[in-house]
Structure 1
Amino acid sequence: MYKLTRSGSFRRKIAGVGMVCVAGMNAWLGYSFGGYYIGDWGLFAFLVVVLFLVSVGLGFLGGMRSRVAVAATTLFLGYTAWTFLSILWSANRGDAWYGSSLTLVYLIVFWVAATLAAVGLSRRLALAALSIGPGVVALLTVPMLASGATENGNFFLDGRLMGPAGYFNAQAAFLLVSFWSGIYVAGSRRVNPLLRGLSLSSTVVCLEVAILTQSRGTAVAFAASLLVFFLFSGRRLRGLLAFAPVAGCAVFAFSDLNEVYLQLRLSETVTGAGLDAIDRAGTVILASAVAAALYGLAWGFLERSWRPTASLTQAAGVVCLSAVALFSVALFFVAVDRVGSPVDFVQERWVAFKANDTSGQDESRYLSASGSGRYVLWEVAWRDFTENPVAGVGTHNYESTYYQYRTGVSGWVRQPHSLGLEVLSERGVIGGLFFFGFLATCVGSGLHKRFSQLNPEGKGQVGAMLACLTYWFVHSSAEWFWQIPAITVPAIVYLAMLVVPWSRPRSEEDVFRPLDRPLRLAGVGISALALIAISPLFVSSYYQQKAGAENNPWVSLGYLERAQTFDPLNPALAREEGDTAYSIGDIPRASESYARAVALNPDHYANYSVLGGFHERLGDPERALELYRRAEELNPLDEEIRQAAERARAEVEARQNVSLR
C-alpha cells in the first residue's frame, strides 16, 4: 500500500473518490434542510474527518506545495481558533460552542479539498460532482411539488417554494451556488458528451426550480456571478453556448413558474387552479431538462467529429460577445427609459429596502425591493461591532442583542442576515482580519494563476469557481448561509481549489515532504478536536429528539437529562426540561431548570419571560413582575412581555390594596 500511495494514478483515484463523497454527502444535506441541524451536519462532519484521517494516513498532507496555500490554511485555522476562543466572552456559551464546531468542520473541509487537489484531483471532476448533486435534488423535488403543497403543506409558503431546504432563500442558494460549475462542465470539450448533457440538464432544472422560490437575493447574486463568469472565464464562447439554452429555457418557462406564486400567494389552501399551476410548472421544468440534455449531447458528439478552426472560433467569439454587448447596451437604455436615472432608481430602491416597501409583489416578488426587515438587523449588528470592535459579542450570540437594540419589529431572529456583519459583530476586528484575509488570499491566488499561468481550460475553471464564489458571497451578504452547510461547503471547496497549484505533482518529493510528520500530528490533533467538540453535541441532539418524540413525560425527562449531560451549556435544553417537569407537577425541578436556563444565557429576554410566567402561575406576582421587567429591558418592543408585566403589576397592586384594608 505504501508504494501504491506514491503512484500518481492511485493518488488521483483516491482524490476523485474523496471529492465525489464530499459532493454526494453535500447533496444529501441539501435534501435534508440544508444540513442546518446537527443531526445532519454532524454525520457530514464525521465523513470529512474520516477523509482527513485517510489523507493523514496516506501521507497526503505534504502535498500542499504552495506557500500561499499554507498561508490560507493558517488564516482559516486562526479564524477557527479565535471563534473557539470567543466562547470565553459569550453570554450564551452553548451557542458559541455549536457555532465554533461548525466552523471547525469548514476548516477540515477546506484542508481535505486542498489536499485532494494538491495530490492530483481533477478540478473538472470536482466541478461536475458539485454541480450535478443539486441537480439530482432538484429533479427529486419536482415530482414532490404538488404533494408538498397539499398533503405535507410545508413546501410552499405565501406562494414561494421552501422545498427540502425548508427556507426559500436557502433552497435557491443551494441549487445555484454551483450553477456556473455546471455551465463550465457543459461547455468543456474535454468532458464526455453524456456528462455534458447531464450537466446542462442539471443546471436548467436548478435554475427553474430556484425561480419558484421567488428569492430576490438570488436574482441579485446571480446577476453578479454572471458578470464575473464572463469576465474571468477563458472559455467565454463555450460558456455562452452552454448558458444560452439554459437562459432560453428559463425565459420560456418563467410565466408558468411565476403563475405558481400568483395562484398560491393569497390562498390559505391549495385550490384546483393552484394545483394546475404546479402541474404546468413541473411539466415545463422536466421538458426543459430533456431539451437541455439533448442540446448538450448533440453538442458533445458534434465536437467529437468536427473541430472548428481557430480563426472560425475567434470570429464566432467576437460575434457572440458583440451581440451580448449590444444586448446589454440596449437593455440599459430600455431600463433608463422605463425607470429614469440609474442613480435615482438605485436610491429609490434603497429607500424601499429600508422601509420594507412591498409594492410590485402583485405581479411577481422579483419586482419588490422590500428588505424584509434586514436593515434593522444590520443596524443592530453594526452596533454590536462598534460597541465590541476588538472581540465582538461572541460566536452565535447576536440573537440576544438584536432584541435589546432593534428599532423595528422583524420577528424571530437568530442571525444578522449578513456574512460580513456576522463575522465583525460576533468575532470583532481580529476575527474579521482572519476571515477576510483568508478569502482574499484564496481569491487573489486564483486570479494570479488565471492571468499568469493557466491555459484557456484552466482559466475557464477559475472563471467558474470565481463566479460560484461571487454568488455565494453576494447572497450570503444578505442571508445566514454560514449556518447552512449545503450552501457553504461548495464555496469552501472552491476556495481550496483556487489556492492550490494547478500542476500535478511531478515526483514523490512533491507530495511526501520532510514536514510530513509534523503535518500528520497536526492533522490527527485537529481531527481529535473535531470529534471532541462535535460528538457531545450530536449525541445530545439525539437524546433531545428522543425526548420530543416520547409521549411519557417521565421518560422524556430522562432523555433530556442525558442530553444535558453531553451539552450542559445549552439553555434551550434546560428550558425544555422545565416545561416537561412543570407538566407533571414537579415544581422544584421546573424551578431549578428555568433558573439554570437564565444562568446559562443571562442576556436573552426569553429565559426571564418563561421564568416570570412560571412564578405567575405559582401565584407569586412580585417575583413574576421582577422577571418580566428584566425581560422587558432586554426586549423593550415585545408587546406580550409588556402586557404580562402590566398583568403582574396589577396583581401586585391588588394584593397590596387588600393588605392595607
Structure 2
Amino acid sequence: MKERLAPTLALSSVVLLASLMGNDQGGYFTLGWVPAAFVLVAMVFAVSIAGAGRALRGRAGLLALGLFCAYVAWTFASIFWAADKGSAWLGAGQTMLYLLAFWAALVLISLDASRRLVLVASSLGPAVIAAFTLLALQSRVGGLMEGGWLVGTVGYHNGEAAFLLVPFWVSIYLAGSRMVNPLIRGLVIGGATLCTQLAVLTESRGAMVAIFGSLLIFFLISGARLRGVVALLPVVASLGINFHGLNDVYIVSSGGGNPAALLESALPRIWLLSAGSALYGLTWAVIDRGWTPPRRLVRAVGAVVLVFCTLSVVAGGAVAVDRYGNPIDLAHEKWVAFKTNDTSGAGQSRYLSASGSGRYVLWQVAWKDFEAHPLLGVGTQNYEATYYRLRQSEAGSVRQPHSLPLEVLAERGVVGAGLFFGFLFVCVGTGLWRRFRSLSPEGRAQAGALSASVAYWFFHSSAEWFWQIPAITMPAIVYLALLVSPWGNPEVVRVPTRGWPMRLTGAGVAALAAAVLVPLAVSAYYLQQSKTAVTPEKALVFVNRAERFNPLDSQIPDEKARIALELGRWKTVVEAYKREIRLNPENYAPYMYLGDYYARRGDDTSARTYYREALHRNPLDAELERKASSMVRDKTDHSAG
C-alpha cells in the first residue's frame, strides 16, 4: 500500500490541477494553464530520470502515447505554414500540456496508482469549486450570471456546465461501488447533485444532449445498471424538485427582470437537496456493506431496470410523436431552426430552443478551410481570420469553430485528424476490449463510467471549443489514460523503449516542453503587467519585454499601439500596427485599427487604403463598409469642392 501512495497522490494532483483551473476561467488564458504545465513538466522529468517510465505496460498504451506525441509534433509543425504563427505556437504549447498529462498518467498508473482514489479526486474537485461558487453566487450575481445563465468561475456558461458534468458518470460509478468508503460515497453523490443543480442554471443545451447521449453508453457498458439507477435516483429527484425554480431564473433574467429574489429562494434548496443526496448515499453505503442481495435478485432487478428504461424510451417516443408529429419532419424542422438560429421556445426555457447560436456558419467555414487545405490544414488556432473572410452570414465574434472534430480537420488537416482520432480510438477501443474480455464486475463498471465520461466530453466538445479550456479537457485526457492502461497486474510486455532510451525520451519531452512554455509564460506575464502598470511609460517597458520573449505574438504590438496612442508617440503607433499586420496578415483587425488611426489623424487616403484591406478580409462587416464608403464620399466631396 505504501508503494501505491506516492503515484496515487501524484496522479490525483493532476486532476486536482484541472479543478483549480476551473476556478480561474477554466485555465483559458496562458497564465491560467502554464503553471499546471510546469508542474507536469517537473513530474514527467522526475519519473523519467528515476526510471519509472520503464514500468509502462501494454502495447496499446505505448501506441496511444506514440500517436499523441506524433499529433503534438504535427501541431508544432503547423507553425511553419500558419499565417498567424504566434497563435499556432500558443495552441501547440497547450496541446503539449495535454500530452504531459497523458504521459504522467500512463506512468503513474503503471506504478500502480489507485484508479479509484484518482477518480474520487476528479469527482470531488469540481464539486468543491461548485460549492464555493454557490456560496458566492448570491453576493456576486453580476459577476457569475450573464444573460440569464450561470457563467460561473469558468466564465462561459457551456464551459461551466461541462466542467461540472465531465466527471458525472465517474461520480455515479463511485456512489454505487461497494469498494468505496461509505463516507466518500455520500460525498460523491451529494457533489454530483450539487453540480447538476448548478449545471441547470447554465441553461446549456449542449450539456443536456451530451448527458443523455453518455447515459446510454453508461448503462450499456458498465454492467452496473441496478447500482447506477439507485445512484441516479437522488440526483434525478433533486432535479425534478428544483428544476422549475432554477429555470425561472433564466426566464426572469431574459425578460429583463432581476433574478436575485429567485436565486435567494433556489439556492437554499440546492444546499438541502445536495445534503439530502449525501445522506442518502451514506445510508445506502452503510446498508450495502452489511447486506449482499442474492445474485439472482440483482440480475432480475437489473433486467427489469433495462426493460423499464427501454419501455420508457419507447413510450416517450410515442408521446413525442403524438404531440409533435413525425420524428423525421420534427428533426428536419429542428435542423432548419438550428441553421437559421430560430429561438422559438426560448421564452419558456432555453432548453426548448433549437437555435444553433451561429454554429452552422462556424462549421461551414471550418469545412471550407478543410476543403481548401485538406492535407495540412490552415494551422493551429488559425481559424479566426478565415472565419471573417469566408463566412456567409453574421455569427458574432469568434476564434474557434466550436467543434473539436472540425477544429482538428480545419487546422491540422487529414494528417492531424488521423493522428488525433487514432489516439482516441486506441484509448477507448482498448478499454472496451478489456471490459468485454477480462475485467471483473468492478472493472467493467469502472470502464463503463470512464467511457461514458469521455463520451460526454467528446459529445459536448463536438459543439464547443473545450480544447482551449484545460479544466474541462485535462480530466478527459486522464480518463483516456485510465482506459488504455492495463487493469490489475497483467503480464509486462517487453518493448524496445525500456531502460535508458525511455528515460531519455521522457526527459527530452519534458525539456522540450519547458523550452516551449517558458517564453510563452514570461511574455504573458509581462503583457499582463503592462495592462496594470501605473504609468503608460512603465507599461511600454513591460510590452517591449514581452515582445522580446515572444516575437511572434500579434497581441503584443496591438497593446504597444494602444499605449503609444496614449503617449502620443505616433511613429510607434504606426510601426506597431504594421508589425501586427506582418505577424497576422490574414486578420482584418490590424488593418482596421491602422485605418482608424489614419482617419483620426486626417489622412483619408491612407485610412481608405487600410479600410479596404480590412473589408477584403471581413466583407460582411457593416461598420467597416460604412467607414470605407465614408472615406470615398469624403474624397468625392473634397474633389467637387
TM-score (norm 2): 0.98
What is aligned with 2:526?
543
* 1:111 and 2:88 are equivalent in the alignment: no
Q: Distance in 2 between matches of 1:341 and 1:48?
A: 52
Q: Distance in 2 between matches of 1:525 and 1:656?
A: 66
* 1:456 and 2:445 are equivalent in the alignment: no
Deviation, structure 1 residue 355: 0.7
CA contact (8 A) 2:522 2:546 kept: yes
* 1:370 and 2:355 are equivalent in the alignment: yes
What is aligned with 1:531?
514
What is aligned with 2:176?
187
The aligned amino acid for 1:95 is S
What is aligned with 2:289?
304
Q: Distance in 2 between matches of 1:245 and 1:289?
A: 9
* 1:573 and 2:556 are equivalent in the alignment: yes
Q: Distance in 1 between matches of 2:551 and 2:239?
A: 50
The aligned amino acid for 2:573 is A
Deviation, structure 1 residue 89: 0.5
What is aligned with 2:504?
521
Deviation, structure 1 residue 336: 1.4
Deviation, structure 1 residue 306: 1.4
Q: 1:40 aligns with which of 28, 32, 43?
A: 32
Q: How does 1:529-608 map to 2 (within 5 A)?
A: 529-608=512-591
Q: Distance in 1 between matches of 2:140 and 2:319?
A: 40
Deviation, structure 1 residue 536: 1.0
CA contact (8 A) 2:222 2:445 kept: yes
Q: How does 1:161-310 map to 2 (within 5 A)?
A: 161-267=150-256, 271=258, 274-310=259-295
CA-to-partner distance for each residue in 1:30-53, whole Å, 9 max, x for gaps? 111111011110011011112212
Deviation, structure 1 residue 639: 1.1
Report SS of the residue matched to 1:89: coil
What is aligned with 1:4?
none
CA-to-partner distance for each residue in 1:254-313, whole Å, 9 max, x for gaps? 01111111121222xx63xx2221012211111111111111100111122211121222
Q: Distance in 1 between matches of 2:595 and 2:606?
A: 7
CA-to-partner distance for each residue in 1:428-483, whole Å, 9 max, x for gaps? 00001100111111111011001101011101011001100111011001000000
Greater mean deviation of Cα atoms: 216-225 or 582-591: 582-591
Q: Distance in 1 between matches of 2:550 and 2:639?
A: 43
* 1:388 and 2:380 are equivalent in the alignment: no
What is aligned with 1:646?
629
Q: How many positions carry a matched residue from both structures?
A: 641
Deviation, structure 1 residue 504: 2.9
Q: 1:99 aligns with which of 87, 91, 97?
A: 91
* 1:622 and 2:611 are equivalent in the alignment: no
CA contact (8 A) 1:404 1:633 kept: yes
Report SS of the residue matched to 1:300: helix
Q: Distance in 2 between matches of 1:465 and 1:291?
A: 26
CA contact (8 A) 2:520 2:550 kept: yes
What is aligned with 1:329?
314
The aligned amino acid for 2:327 is P
CA contact (8 A) 1:119 1:511 kept: no
CA-to-partner distance for each residue in 1:72-98, whole Å, 9 max, x for gaps? 111111110000000001110000000
Q: Distance in 1 between matches of 2:9 and 2:135?
A: 30
Q: Distance in 1 between matches of 2:53 and 2:144?
A: 43
Deviation, structure 1 residue 157: 1.6
What is aligned with 1:340?
325
What is aligned with 2:486?
501
Deviation, structure 1 residue 513: 8.7
Q: 2:60 aligns with which of 47, 64, 68?
A: 68
What is aligned with 1:5?
none
Report SS of the residue matched to 1:154: helix
The aligned amino acid for 1:547 is S
What is aligned with 2:130?
138
Q: Distance in 2 between matches of 1:587 and 1:511?
A: 66
CA contact (8 A) 1:86 1:395 kept: yes
What is aligned with 1:6?
none
Greater mean deviation of Cα atoms: 120-129 or 521-530: 120-129
The aligned amino acid for 1:156 is M
* 1:359 and 2:344 are equivalent in the alignment: yes
Deviation, structure 1 residue 654: 3.7
Q: Distance in 1 between matches of 2:230 and 2:345?
A: 33
Q: Distance in 1 between matches of 2:385 and 2:161?
A: 28
Q: Distance in 2 between matches of 1:485 and 1:44?
A: 10
CA 354–554 in structure 1, closer or farther in 2 if over 3 Å, else same: same
The aligned amino acid for 1:584 is L
TM-score (norm 1): 0.95
Q: Distance in 2 between matches of 1:320 and 1:613?
A: 66
Report SS of the residue matched to 2:79: helix
Q: Distance in 1 between matches of 2:130 and 2:426?
A: 33
Deviation, structure 1 residue 511: 9.9
CA contact (8 A) 2:157 2:204 kept: yes
* 1:412 and 2:401 are equivalent in the alignment: no
Q: How does 1:408-487 map to 2 (within 5 A)?
A: 408-487=393-472
The aligned amino acid for 1:544 is L
CA contact (8 A) 1:60 1:512 kept: no
CA contact (8 A) 2:59 2:493 kept: no
CA-to-partner distance for each residue in 1:203-241, whole Å, 9 max, x for gaps? 111111000000000110010010000010021111111
Greater mean deviation of Cα atoms: 197-206 or 535-544: 535-544
Q: Distance in 1 between matches of 2:497 and 2:344?
A: 64
Deviation, structure 1 residue 128: 1.2
User: How high is the sequence identity, in percent, across the aligned residues?
Assistant: 46
The aligned amino acid for 2:5 is K
Q: Distance in 1 between matches of 2:497 and 2:514?
A: 27
Q: 2:73 aligns with which of 67, 81, 84?
A: 81
CA contact (8 A) 2:21 2:470 kept: yes
CA 319–96 in structure 1, closer or farther in 2 if over 3 Å, else same: same
What is aligned with 2:594?
611
Q: Distance in 2 between matches of 1:118 and 1:499?
A: 11
What is aligned with 1:3?
none
Greater mean deviation of Cα atoms: 204-213 or 22-31: 22-31
What is aligned with 1:158?
147
* Structure 2: 5+ residue stretches without partners: none
Deviation, structure 1 residue 24: 1.6
Greater mean deviation of Cα atoms: 492-501 or 307-316: 307-316
Report SS of the residue matched to 2:161: helix
The aligned amino acid for 1:138 is A
CA-to-partner distance for each residue in 1:548-601, whole Å, 9 max, x for gaps? 112311111011111111111111110110111121111111111111000101
Deviation, structure 1 residue 657: 4.0
CA-to-partner distance for each residue in 1:9-58, whole Å, 9 max, x for gaps? 44421211012211221111111111101111001101111221222133
